[in-house]
Chain A
Amino acid sequence: MNEIIVSMENICKAFPGVKALDHVKFELRSGEVMALLGENGAGKSTLMKVLSGVYTRDEGSLEIFGKEYGDLTPKQAQEAGVAIIHQELNMCRHLSVAENMFLGREISKGLSLNNTKMEAEAKKILDDLKIDIDPRQTVGDLPVSKQQMVEIAKALSINAKILIMDEPTSSLTAREIEDLFRIIKKLKSEGKGIVYISHRLEELQHIVDRVTIMRDGQYITSMDFGAVTMEQIISYMVGREIKEKFPRVECKKGKKVFEVKNLNAGKMVRNINFSVYEGEIVGFAGLMGAGRTETTRAIFGVDPKESGEIYVDDKEVEIKCPMDAIKNGVVLAPEDRKKDGLCTKLSIRHNLALPNLDIVCDKLGIINNAKETELCDKAVRELRIKTPSIDVDSGNLSGGNQQKVVVGKWLARDSRVVIFDEPTRGIDVGAKVEIYNLMNELKKQGIAVMFVSSEMPEVMGIADRIIVMCDGRITGEVMAKDTSQNEILTLATTFEDKKINSQSGKEEV
């Protein structure tokens, strides 16, 4: 144990126009959890892609278990025991758990597949990890957390000794994170080396042994986790001190801007009533699957509504599709940026201009190039999107910068209501603060801001008023000033009768 199993020195990697890695050093020992930290675009993912053979390094040396690899291929990396658990899970949704785990190395009996054997082996590995999943289940039917565990199990089944986890907790609930940590600790005790990439610094203390910090493609430092404070880590990552983690501005509450009455849309949006006033940010808290995203989608006209009225500036508006919403000054920065937010094959320019074409086009629908450039440059400047040019494909940007493009799309308009759905998921501290500042700026301008977030400290730090949802209903409303995490959590778990009973039953035990 504690021998060095990965050693990378002076690794360089350049992409057209960007130097992604600049003489980076990285070391991993067996039986440790190494946190790889840095802002978005710092080069963490690129470095790990070099380690797993996805990218070939331009310069530098790379040793795995003492063996020097020149141009590492993904296959060699796999044979050496390197496995990545991706941020976006790489699973065949229609196949079963066992089929996924044995994909590409199926066990056969004569000409046909030996399903019994594969299922038994899959079961054994899952049991070892104390994961309760039936190997015959279809992966697409499992919740994200379970899919992730299947991916970990798959890595172990091919004898992985070095596990790279990229933002493994970003879509997990507190409960599921605990499960994950249990598994990580178990792997650690078996002498596996684990690289842990995460933006949620507060969770590191539970599992991390050492940290390596990167910034702008460069190696900054590495040390024992116990030897540093959070503030130091953040300042290493950002290169500047971030004073306020949650900047707050006080505004006077003005008149009512936005009101939703008796909104119903399927099981996850039931009888929703709320309003938002000038000069306030209303947070939407709740557990995963509480119906917050569904509510925003129903308001924005993506999903059909069964009933309900929506008022903007005391005037009732009819929203049947996103276009109606936009025309009435209601905009939504959606939750899943890869799926709903961004056209990754198109340039930043095309993305930023997409919902604003009515502004940059003349009456005939012809695009005014100068106007468009001005609009895009302004968004890039104000949001500090890091890019050499607005004509770069948005798919080439780092996660945080992609998120800024998604948000930036909506700033050029005179909107009355801006809905942010998990705007800070998976992005770094610096970019988070920029998004917070932006919300505060909107608040100051008298725009109604709805802020959906699953991270409790963030909601409490930024929102003025918090609406808590559970199971498709609003279960409470509290002022951020005089509430506690406990109170919100209690409201967020206020299920309807049936479930309350079973819960109180549990409490008695």
Chain B
Amino acid sequence: MNNTKQSPIKKLLAVKGMGAALTAFVGLIIIYIAFGLINSVVFSGNNILNLLRSMSKYLLIGIAQSYVLITGNIDLSIGSVVAMSAMISATLMTMGVNPLLATLIALICCLVVGVVNGILVGKFKLPPFIATLGTMFVGRGIAYIVNNNRNTDAIATGIGKEAGDSFQNFFYYGTTFGIYNTFWIAIVVFVIFFFLLSKTRTGRHIYAIGSNIDAAKLSGVNVVATTTKTYLVSAACSWVVGLILCAQAGMGNMEAGNMYEMYGVAAGVIGGVSPLGGTGILLGTLAGAAVWQTLENGLNMIGAQVGIQRIVIGVIVVGAVLLEVVIRSGQFSKKKKG
């Protein structure tokens, strides 16, 4: 038991899930350099700034989905909650409601969806796929109804140009230390939830539920509360993404966040979060979100069509998991092929 004598690098590698996360980071660097060699604009400072900003959204929904995936569940309502957040806050702002109050009301609505998910899955033991499929439709429906089945007008029409600009700058267009605020917001959220997952009691409970829900229960873990917490984290992150999208467009879009729940799964899975629960770390999700965005950005830069982009991304997601499976089974039977 010589833990104290281990070198820092060894210790880092000993963290469970670190291997997959680091693999994703290595993949990220390779992808980035490869695109850069094809089109040097990829390396430009401007592009890097844009990359950091656009990957922030994926990081946030990646965190949202990872929390739920680690408990062995899934959250299909993420995209709808993003839309709810964007539509509710934008609608209120066009009505002249103070942006702070408008976003807080949106937050409460989003958290209600999280609680409902948590109770359906945690307490009533509904299959998470079904429960969140339901809230996905309901959430999207609410996003439609909020402004009478129309996208909202520009938020500036309600709260004035000045307030509208400062809202848009705060979440999207403004910079701090030369980097877009969106990135800083995502990083702050990341640090908070990274800490919560890896260093706290709640985090341990989340892993325990994902690994063996019966054993967790018998160890005194409150499964309903913990499951609900993961869905709350998911809803909260989705709320932030909704605000970012609202700020980007300067208005609310009913179709905002479409398919985001699946992007979240992809970011997590590329980074080594197992959809079966119990394993994965947020550092992996960070790498996964970055891989995802770099791919999208790079393919754009080299002029690939949208269709090609989708195909490449699909292949990468499956490839990442395949690679992990191959590596893992390789550990046990080195010379299976003989």
Contact = CB atoms under 8 A, between A and B. Distances in A.
Which of A357, A366, A389 has most B Cβ within 10 Å?
A: A357
A365 B3 contact: no
Contact of A343 (B199, B202, B216): B216
Given A71-B338, A357-B204, A347 B16 contact: yes
Contact of B217 (A71, A322, A366): A322
Contacts of A56: 333-336, 338
Contacts of B338: 56, 70-71
A68 to B, nearest CB: 14
B207 interface: yes
Interface in B18-40: none
B219 A345 contact: no
Which of A73, A332, A366, A377 has most B Cβ within 10 Å?
A: A366
B148 interface: no
Which of B1, B202, B210, B216 has most A Cβ within 10 Å?
A: B1
Interface in B197-218: 199-202, 204-205, 207-208, 210-212, 214-218
Interface in A327-368: 332, 334, 339-347, 350, 353-355, 357-358, 361, 364-367
B157 interface: no
Interface string B306-338: 000000000000000000000000011111101
B208 A354 contact: yes
B200 A354 contact: no
Given A326-B220, A361-B200, A350 B333 contact: no
A366 B200 contact: yes
A365 B278 contact: no
B181 interface: no
A134 interface: no
B201 A343 contact: no
A389 B3 contact: yes
A300 interface: yes
Nearest to A387: B1
B14 interface: yes
Contacts of B216: 343, 354
Contacts, number: 104
A251 interface: no
A128 interface: no
A102 interface: no
Interface string A38-65: 0000000000000000011010000000
Nearest to A325: B220
Nearest to B6: A389
A24 interface: no
B279 to A, nearest CB: 6
Interface residues of B, number: 33
A409 B219 CA distance: 8
B221 A365 contact: no
B333 to A, nearest CB: 5
A342 B212 contact: yes
Contacts of A326: 220
B222 interface: yes
Contacts of B331: 16
Contact of B208 (A322, A339, A346, A380): A346
A367 B222 contact: no
Nearest to A357: B201
Given A56-B335, A343-B211, A332 B218 contact: yes
Nearest to B214: A340
Contact of B199 (A70, A366, A390): A366
Q: Interface residues of A toward B: which range?
A: 35 or more
B214 A339 contact: yes
Nearest to A391: B14
Nearest to B213: A343
A207 interface: no
Contacts of A321: 222
B218 A346 contact: no
Nearest to B15: A391
A69 B217 CA distance: 46
Contacts of B219: 322, 354-355, 409
Given A322-B219, A354-B204, A343 B3 contact: no
A339 B218 CA distance: 10
Contacts of B211: 343-346
A460 to B, nearest CB: 28
Given A56-B334, A322-B220, A391-B14, A367 B215 contact: no
B17 to A, nearest CB: 11
Interface in A365-399: 365-367, 373, 377, 380, 389-391, 393
B116 to A, nearest CB: 22
A323 interface: yes
Contacts of A332: 218
A373 B216 CA distance: 20
A343 B214 CA distance: 9
Interface in B94-122: none
Nearest to A56: B333
A326 B220 CA distance: 7
Which of A15, A55, A334, A343 has most B Cβ within 10 Å?
A: A343
Which of B214, B333, B334, B338 has most A Cβ within 10 Å?
A: B214
Given A323-B220, A347-B16, A55 B333 contact: yes
A302 B218 contact: yes
Given A354-B208, A373-B3, A345 B279 contact: yes
Contacts of A15: 332
B281 to A, nearest CB: 13
Contact of A367 (B201, B217, B279): B201
Interface string A95-133: 000000000000000000000000000000000000000
B207 A350 contact: yes
Contacts of B214: 339-340
B61 to A, nearest CB: 25
Given A56-B334, A326-B220, A367-B199, A345 B278 contact: yes
A115 to B, nearest CB: 30
A367 B1 contact: no
Given A343-B216, A390-B1, A390-B3, 15 more contacts: A55-B333, A56-B335, A71-B336, A71-B338, A339-B215, A340-B215, A343-B208, A354-B208, A354-B215, A357-B205, A366-B199, A367-B201, A391-B3, A391-B16, A393-B16
30 contacts: A56-B334, A56-B335, A321-B222, A322-B218, A322-B220, A332-B218, A339-B212, A341-B215, A341-B218, A342-B215, A343-B212, A343-B215, A343-B278, A344-B211, A344-B212, A345-B211, A346-B208, A346-B211, A346-B278, A350-B204, A350-B207, A353-B204, A357-B201, A357-B205, A358-B201, A365-B200, A366-B200, A367-B204, A389-B1, A391-B3
List the 4 closest A-B pairs by CB distance, nearest first. Answer: A343-B211, A345-B278, A355-B219, A71-B338
Interface of A: 15-16, 55-56, 58, 70-71, 73, 300, 302, 321-323, 325-326, 332, 334, 339-347, 350, 353-355, 357-358, 361, 364-367, 373, 377, 380, 389-391, 393, 409
